[in-house]
């Protein structure tokens, strides 16, 4: 994204506010990002989106856009042979979301994230980790394959 951005075009990392298991990838959604610094900070401001250290969630980017967005997927929303499945991470495990309203909320969160880029977007789907029962490869692989099947280019 840095190579694609021209001049003052803004880029940054966006994630679901429920993406609790991205923490091993140094993405902790519980750390509050200040949207003013994130969206308005200059390229030399470590709090700005340009540094790609702090992430914004669907709440911070609602109604706002980036030129280039890096959407980092977690296994709270997974594609399966039966379609999209929604999960909530509680304690030490993922739980199925059963309430229709909460399912719709999570799906809408990803819709918000996937519609923030004006110029282009990179979607990062983690590989999973054999040693971590909360980040199994099977939680991510079907989503990754689905995104490729619908035409998203693998880089």
Q: Kindly state whether residue 3 falls inside one of the protein's structural domains.
A: no
User: Rounded to two decimals, what is the model's pTM?
Assistant: 0.94
Confidence of residue 43 (pLDDT cuts 50, 70, 90): very high
What is the pLDDT of the chain when averaged over all its residues?
96
Q: Kindly state whether residue 105 falls inside one of the protein's structural domains.
A: yes
Q: Kindly state whether residue 64 falls inside one of the protein's structural domains.
A: yes
Confidence of residue 136 (pLDDT cuts 50, 70, 90): very high
Q: Express as a percent the part of the chain with pLDDT over 70.
A: 100
Domain that holds residue 27: 11-149
Q: Kindly state whether residue 4 falls inside one of the protein's structural domains.
A: no
Q: Kindly state whether residue 78 falls inside one of the protein's structural domains.
A: yes
Confidence of residue 55 (pLDDT cuts 50, 70, 90): very high
Q: Kindly state whether residue 31 falls inside one of the protein's structural domains.
A: yes
Q: Kindly state whether residue 50 falls inside one of the protein's structural domains.
A: yes
pLDDT per residue over 71-113, tens digit each? Answer: 999 999 999 999 999 999 999 999 999 999 999 999 999 999 9
**Average confidence (pLDDT) over 35-48:** 95
User: Comparing C-alpha atoms, which of 148, 151, 103, 143 is closest to residue 125?
Assistant: 143
Q: Kindly state whether residue 114 falls inside one of the protein's structural domains.
A: yes
């Amino acid at each position: 994204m840095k190579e694609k951005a021209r001049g003052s075009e803004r880029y940054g990392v966006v994630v679901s506010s429920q993406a609790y298991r991205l923490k091993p990838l140094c993405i902790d959604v519980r750390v509050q990002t200040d949207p003013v610094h994130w969206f308005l900070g200059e390229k030399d401001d470590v709090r700005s989106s340009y540094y790609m250290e702090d992430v914004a969630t669907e709440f911070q980017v609602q109604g706002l856009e980036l030129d280039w967005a890096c959407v980092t997927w977690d296994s709270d929303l997974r594609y399966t042979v039966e379609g999209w499945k929604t999960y909530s991470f509680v304690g030490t495990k993922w739980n199925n979301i059963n309430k229709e309203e909460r399912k719709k909320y999570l799906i809408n969160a990803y819709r918000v994230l996937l519609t923030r880029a004006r110029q282009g977007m990179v979607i990062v789907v983690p590989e999973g980790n054999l040693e971590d029962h909360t980040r199994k490869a099977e939680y991510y692989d079907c989503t990754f394959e689905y995104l490729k099947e619908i035409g998203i280019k693998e880089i």
